[in-house]
Chain A
Amino acid sequence: MDLTLGPIQFFWEAPRIRDFYARIADEAPVARVVLGELVCSKRLPFWQGEIPVAVERLKAAGKEVWLTSLALVTLKRERQLTEELVDAGVGVEISDLTTLAYLPKGTPFSVSPLINVYNIGTLDWLAERGAKRICLPNELPLASAAKLAAAGAERGVAVEVWGFGRQPLAISGRCYHARLHNRSKDSCQFICNADPDGREVDTLDGERFLAVNGVQTLSAATSFAGGEIGALAAAQVSALRLSPQTGNMVALAREFEAAIAAGKAGPALEAAARAAAPGGQLANGYLRGHAGAEWAPA
């Protein structure tokens, strides 16, 4: 089992992105990095120039690199962007099935957790089409993940599970950041850049519940699979995905690497996860077949 760093889901400023990937390239023990704009095509012009820089830097450091597609492709411009990804010379991670309309059959690709891979029929179809890696949807319990990982292992498809990060729960046509500021999506003024870990949404009882990130809704709690490392490895899960938050991802990746090597997580990994999680709030309900928001100590 190794580590994949997922795409930055939030709207970070270009200098922060450059520093982030430079540090990941130099210091983080992750085998591969998925990067690119996942959530909103309007953000891309602000940091597009950082993508080739990061790709070169990460490749030079020996990392495998994949470029993500957008999660929801509707506009003509977004279809063009998605089509251009195919010719970027880097493997593509599909986050919307639209991408497959442009990928010649047999071209290797990776599948993001936003694609609905719930069963072996779907895994088979994607494998036949060229899928080499599949990160499973967050809501799947360990029992389903184990069946899919075993099927993947038989077919040469690496199956990955969400290991850390605020979980993407929904994507919409509506921008909630704009709505919170009484603006429409078309005149959002890129207000989502004020919340580099997402903007928290609490219940009326003041419980931290969700986080909005433009058109995306995430969990407020950070999903953390540290307690399941042994079970996931035994189930032939081949990688854990770490999703960037503003906390110390390098320190976190190092603790994950140590726990994977040991076959189980100790208190140091959970401490690193709490330190990197916004507000220190963790959840692990989904893998246990419960509500995703639940947390049960290992």
Chain B
Amino acid sequence: MELVCPAGTPAALRAAVEAGAHSVYCGFADETNARNFPGLNFSRPELAEGVAFAHRHGAKVLVAINTFPRAGDEAIWHRAVADAEKAGVDAVILADIGLLAHAAKHHPKLRRNLSVQAAAANADVINFYAREFGVSRVVLPRVLTVAEIAAINRETEVETEVFVFGGLCVMAEGRCSLSSYATGQSPNMNGVCSPASEVEYVQEGAQLAARLGNFTIHRVGASEPAPYPTLCKGCFTSGDETGHIFEDAVSLNATELLPQLKKAGVTALKIEGRQRSRSYVAQVVRSFRAAVDALEAGRPMPTSALAALSEGQASTTGAYAKTWR
């Protein structure tokens, strides 16, 4: 299986490639991609250099242009697709149907992958995207079980890519405006979710409240860790219940499911984390590459290396297990 690894910066790209990434994915330093964070992403010359470096090492570069273009400013997104092709990237990752139609028409030779932001969650819609826009691969939304993924692969020729590690969306991706409801900025429009510019930590006596926009997302005691206030991982009250109504402060770790995902016909495994440091990226990529190589060779999984990855943090296999729902 192909290992698709995050590259938030040129340094992280090199680290991921050297650690054994088969592919890296990255974005331009603007609102055209869904990790539009300060200090992150690539200029045009950096992308060209990154592509050259990756190709020298036999790795591919995929460019995410996966926000939804703003009416009247479509040219910014069109230029991103054209510049990605010019830089020699191996594929673009798109979500918006207008942008997919544009790319199919004006850049027919540029490989098109369907972003998780399109939330294509069944074989019929995946085949529809293939028919209409010539997509070669789909990144599946995190609402499906392993059995459902296997069923999709039986009914489509389109390659499937699934998230196996890192941040976890609880909602169908590209169809969530919780962030903009609280802050005015969203993944779809601005490439950010629960943005840091809207976060405030407020000391309240012995407690620390984390606020997003005008809303308290959680509150912890002095000795407890204070997680980042991502809205869907927050602590709320409904009726008599107080707690993590949507999801706990966990991240995804599907390492134990790698053999099942392979059996389900998955082509590529994706690691989330373009906002993470290059040393983190290198460590995670190295562990996953060892696991994937072992799997392909029929050797036992290097469980200790994988277990070390999630030390000290709560993790889940998310929707891959039916009971999560």
Contact = CB atoms under 8 A, between A and B. Distances in A.
B18 interface: no
Contact of A206 (B171, B183, B209, B237): B237
B312 interface: no
B72 A171 contact: no
B186 A139 contact: yes
Interface residues of B, number: 67
Interface string B104-138: 00000000000000111110110110000000000
Interface residues of A, number: 68
B272 interface: no
Interface string A56-97: 000000000000000111111011000000000000000011
Nearest to A149: B71
Contact of B241 (A76, A120, A138, A180): A180
B218 interface: yes
B122 A173 contact: no
A292 B180 contact: yes
A292 B181 contact: yes
A248 to B, nearest CB: 25
Contacts of A290: 184
A174 B232 CA distance: 12
Contact of B148 (A74, A148, A169, A204): A74
Q: Which of B151, B209, B215, B247 is packed against the most chain A CB atoms within 10 Å?
A: B215
A72 B143 contact: yes
B146 interface: no
Contact of A101 (B128, B184, B186, B235): B128
B99 A199 contact: no
18 contacts: A79-B124, A98-B128, A114-B175, A116-B188, A118-B71, A118-B188, A119-B69, A119-B70, A119-B74, A121-B74, A122-B97, A139-B186, A173-B325, A184-B325, A212-B238, A291-B181, A291-B182, A292-B180
Interface of A: 71-76, 78-79, 96-98, 100-102, 114, 116, 118-126, 137-139, 144, 147-148, 151, 167, 169-176, 178-180, 184-186, 199-207, 209-210, 212, 217, 219, 285-286, 289-293
List the 3 closest pairs (A to B, CB-CB), nearest first: A121-B98, A173-B143, A122-B98
Given A100-B128, A118-B189, 10 more contacts: A76-B151, A116-B68, A139-B177, A169-B176, A169-B181, A175-B325, A199-B238, A204-B236, A209-B215, A293-B215
